Amino acid sequence: MTDVFSSSSEAVLQRPVSVSFLRTDSHAGNLVQLYQIAETCHFITNNQFKKVALQFPDEFLPDAVRVSVEIEKETNAKTFILGDTSYGSCCVDEVAAEHVRADCIVHYGPSCLSPCRRLPLLYVFGKRPIDVQQCAAAFKELYPDCQSHVIILYDVTYSHAIGDLRTLLCEIYPNVVVSLLKTDHSCGAKLVQDSCVDSDHIESQDDRVIFKFGRQFSVKAGQSVDNYSMFYIGQEGLTLTNFMMTWNHCAFSSFNPETHTGRVESVKINKALMKRYYAIERAKDASVVGILVGTLGVANYLTIIEQLKDIIHKAENSLLDSSEFYKPVVTPFEMELGCNKHREWTGEYVTDFRDLLPGGSSHVGFPEPDQSAIGEETTDVSLITGALRTCSTTSSEIINGTSESSSLVPRNQTLTVANTNTAASFLSGRSWQGLEPKLGQTPVVKAVAGRRGIAIAYEEEGVGNKDASTPLQKS
């Protein structure tokens, strides 16, 4: 009956897969140059690494084995191929690398340049083809005024050609600023690039230096980023969207090296921001909040989780750490907008959660309540439901768990709420409330052989009534 709704499990496991090699240029003898194996081997041998994790995106996996063989032959190091990252191929998978106790990671392909803290890291972006002359021509068509103030951003896989593009443009456009790729990594991340912008062309004593999303550029004294236009080199995707959401007061244009076309970006950022503001209102209406962690490698992710717990406790006194709910998802910045009255909606959008931490460029402290105001309730009107919502001020004693007024008391093997706590009420009303230890109530038995096979079809299933009537032990 299951075959009517899905493919046969046995057929899926035994189905042959034909692999088409996407990187045809590497098969033409450019493998060493494409993956910059000489620079990679130099990084490994200079640091005397013995175990090296090689992280490839899906489109580079056909070449992974041959790259691994070349590196092992030149360095005598043991390599491990990471081909199935935990979240996204643009992020460095330090967790998987630590499973094999790697000494370092070599990350291939596109990267978001999120900072990491655990292992030494080498970025090898590769070299996607780009016609620099056509890119310069598209830039001139989009910006006919030679005095235009423009910041050039680009996908990391085109960094090898940015030096040549700068040479073509900067003599004609004196106010053009070309961004520089730069990492923020305490263990010493390095970039393999042959032709990028020299940092001497970016920084000066009077200019204000901006460093965000692994890009560094400077704006002239007395100017702000909002006074510049943005020119992006790369395909439409999350990287461009991230830039446009962050610098939403700047006009964006782009050049797609694959289609050889330039265009003015017409994405309605205001509409996108309104969607996020709707999510903020949903966060304000929420009485139970779950924290969903989408990374295990980006630096300071534990710190922002603790900060979120703190502001949620202070604003709502209800928190449930779980990822099982099919509900609207908001970012840490949006959650702060919903909980912190000192943070106002100005149209600014923060996508890097590190900016929200103490010392960050967008940090806003949570207001400390008056002792006399503790327990008092203020009302607010939901822009979604139109109903009044109540916000109560919570003392630090309740947050730290020293108050007994919000505790849960076990009665008759069920949870009884000692006071009106939303998260506790929600938990007590669920049919399944987690594993029950039942210490001392369960007899100790010897280990027995468990089931064999896969969950959809264990070996002992369907072989007769005799076996079917025998209780099966879980492995």
Q: What is the pLDDT of residues 402-448, one digit of tens each?
A: 444 444 444 444 444 444 456 666 667 777 777 777 778 888 888 88
Q: Which residues of 229-260 are buried (b: 16+ CB within 10 A; e: fewer)?
A: bbbbbbbeeebbebbbbbbbebebbbbbbeee
% of the chain exceeding 70 in pLDDT: 67
Residue 261, token pair as written in the block: 């076309």
117 has a pLDDT exceeding 50: yes
- Gap between the terminal Cα atoms of the chain: 26
How many CA atoms lie within 13 Å of 148's alpha carbon, on the beta-carbon side?
A: 21
DSSP characters over 302-331: HHHHHHHHHHHHHHHS-----S--------
Q: From 39, 24, 44, 45, select the one nearest 194 (Cα to Cα).
A: 39
* pLDDT classification of 12: cutoffs 50, 70, 90: low
* Mean pLDDT score, 272-300: 72
pLDDT of residue 71: 93
pLDDT at 326: 62
Residue 144 in this model has a pLDDT that exceeds 80:
yes
Spatial contact of 140 and 256, defined as CB atoms under 8 Å apart: no
Query: What is the per-residue pLDDT across 372-402, written as a single tens digit (0 to 9) for each?
Result: 555 556 667 676 776 666 665 554 444 444 4
Pairing assessment for the beta strands 408-411 and 414-417 based on DSSP bridges: antiparallel
Which 3 state secondary structure label does DSSP give 198? coil
pLDDT at residue 146, rounded to an integer: 92
CA distances from 443 to 106, 412, 438, 451 (A): 51, 22, 10, 21
Strand 215-219 to 208-212 pairing: antiparallel
For residues 335 and 281, give the distance between their C-alpha atoms in angstroms, rounded to a whole number.
Answer: 10
Quick one: pLDDT at residue 315? 63
pLDDT for the residue 54: 93
Tokens of residue 259, six digits: 């289609």
Q: Is 104 exposed, middle or buried (0-12, 13-18, 19+ CB in 10 A)?
A: buried
Q: Cα–Cα distance between 179 and 188 in angstroms, integer?
A: 21
Mean pLDDT, to the nearest integer, of 463-471? 46
Helix %, strand %, coil % for the chain, to 5? 30, 15, 50
Beta carbons of 343 and 351 less than 8 angstroms apart: no
377-381/388-392 β-pairing: antiparallel
pLDDT higher for 106 or 308?
Answer: 106
d(CA 245, CA 270): 9
Integer Cα distance of 404 and 407 in angstroms: 5
Query: What are all long-range contacts of 423-428, with beta carbons under 8 Å and residues at least 24 apart?
Result: 423/287, 423/288, 423/318, 423/319, 423/320, 426/287, 426/288, 426/320, 427/320
5 has a pLDDT exceeding 60? no
Q: Which amino acid is at 41?
A: C
3-state secondary structure 333-394: HHHHHHHCCCCCCCCCCCCCHHHHCCCCCCCCCCCCCCHHHCCCEEEEECCCCCCEEEEECC
pLDDT category of residue 155 using cuts at 50, 70 and 90: very high
Task: List beta partners, residue 230.
Answer: 151, 252
pLDDT (tens digit per residue) in 45-95? 999 999 999 999 888 888 899 999 999 999 989 999 987 666 677 888 888
328 or 20: which carries more pLDDT confidence?
Answer: 328
Q: What is the mean pLDDT of the chain?
A: 74
**Highest mean pLDDT: which range of 85-99, 140-154, 254-268:** 140-154
Q: Are 458 and 468 in contact (CB under 8 A)?
A: no
Task: Assess whether pLDDT exceeds 80 at residue 331.
Answer: no
The predicted pLDDT at position 376 comes to 57
- pLDDT tens digits, residue range 206-261? 678 888 888 888 888 778 888 899 999 998 887 888 888 888 888 899 999 999 99
Chain segment 454-465, per-residue pLDDT in tens: 877 787 776 554
- Give yes or no for residue 177 having a pLDDT over 50: yes
The predicted structure's pLDDT at residue 61: 87
Residue 128 to residue 106: CA distance in whole angstroms? 18
- pLDDT for position 173: 93
CA distance linking residue 143 with residue 145, whole number of Å = 5
pLDDT at 270 over 50: yes
